[in-house]
Amino acid sequence: MAAFFVSEENQYLQLIQTILDRGSDEITRNGEVRSIFGYFMRFSLSDGILPLITTKNTAWKACFRELMWFISGCTDNQILIDQNVHIWDANGSREFLDSRGLGNLAENDLGPIYGHQWRHFNALYETCHTDYLGKGVDQLANIINALKDPEQRSSRRLVMSAWNPCQLDEMALPPCHILAQFNVRDGKYLSCSLYQRSGDVGLGVPFNIASYSFLTHILAKHCCLEAEDFVYCLGNAHIYKDHIEPLREQLKRQPYEFPKIRISSVKERIEDYTIEDVEWISPYQHHPTIKMKMIA
């Protein structure tokens, strides 16, 4: 008799079902949503597991390119557009920037968002083209230095924050995934815990799971560790009204096993990893794409 397969993806599907069954209907800044507050998931990353949602096609290449854009410290949406990644287009439009009172920023300049805070926390922001080398706090470099040091890697202070109250009003969009903490067990096994204040369950959450899992795999490789777990804590988890029916359709699908990857080699700098460095140990098997409108 074949072993019964239980996928960790069921945690995500249960989140959808919980919101549909018990969520509160609210009118928000950008439309009608059904939401809950507080949800927890844990995904194994052991042996190269990458928790890409399989009950629809998750655009993992766009996710990886956005992650490397964050890692580079970049806040220029044109760099993503040039790679055919359009996640930030609505937030970088002239109309949206003006609605945020950011007439000083050029179109597609997103202000001091994730990359700026990860690599230059609280450095005075000028434009997306300014050279910020040596300015602000390089939180990611500090974490990498600690992870590479056997005497520091067990620290409980390996925290990276994108939430900077001093600069929120300068950002095209205040960060949703705001606090990552890294933990090393037994001097070898690296895990990441993410706190996310706001999660778009239909479109954003599968990307966030994939992105921070990719990040943990890259950091593990870069620092001669092994990826173990991605722990995900959501504050406000919501489904936009227009996404309800597509997600009901997704709930009818049975998950496949998550794929497995390895990062091919150790680079000199964390910024140097590319999509070509991702090798697939087992393939990404998934159901067809489910179309949902991106809501800025």
Residue 2 lies in a domain: no
Where does the pLDDT of residue 110 fall: very low under 50, low under 70, confident under 90, or very high at 90 and above? very high
Q: Give the separation between CA 81 and CA 87, rounded to whole angstroms.
A: 9
Q: Give the separation between CA 88 and CA 91, rounded to whole angstroms.
A: 5
Q: What is the pTM of this model?
A: 0.96
Q: Give the separation between CA 160 and CA 251, rounded to whole angstroms.
A: 34
CA atoms within 13 A on the CB side of 197: 9
29 dihedral zone (left: phi>0; alpha: psi -120 to 50; beta): alpha
pLDDT of residue 294: 85
Q: Give tens-digit pLDDT for 125-147.
A: 999 999 999 999 999 999 999 99
Whether the pLDDT of residue 42 is over 60: the answer is yes
Beta-bridge mates of residue 192: 182, 230
Beta-bridge mates of residue 104: none
Where does the pLDDT of residue 5 fall: very low under 50, low under 70, confident under 90, or very high at 90 and above? low
Looking at residue 286, its amino acid is H
44: which 2 tokens?
Answer: 């194994």
pLDDT of residue 6: 80
Catalytic positions, written as ranges: 176
CB atoms closer than 10 angstroms to residue 177: 23
Q: Give tens-digit pLDDT for 276-291.
A: 999 999 999 999 999 9
Residue 290 lies in a domain: no
Domain count, the chain: 1
Q: What percent of the chain has pLDDT over 90?
A: 95
Residue 254 lies in a domain: yes
Whether the pLDDT of residue 72 is over 90: the answer is yes
Residue 252 lies in a domain: yes
pLDDT of residue 4: 52
When comparing pLDDT for 100 and 3, which is higher?
100
pLDDT of residue 1: 38
Residue 66 lies in a domain: yes
148: which 2 tokens?
Answer: 């590479």
Q: Give tens-digit pLDDT for 168-188.
A: 999 999 999 999 999 999 999
Residue 129 lies in a domain: no
Whether the pLDDT of residue 3 is over 50: the answer is no
CATH of the domain at 35: 3.30.572.10
pLDDT of residue 296: 77
Range of the domain at 101: 10-122+134-282
Residue 289 lies in a domain: no
Residue 294 lies in a domain: no
DSSP one-letter code for 76: B
Mean pLDDT over each residue of the chain, to the nearest integer: 96
CB atoms closer than 10 angstroms to residue 39: 21
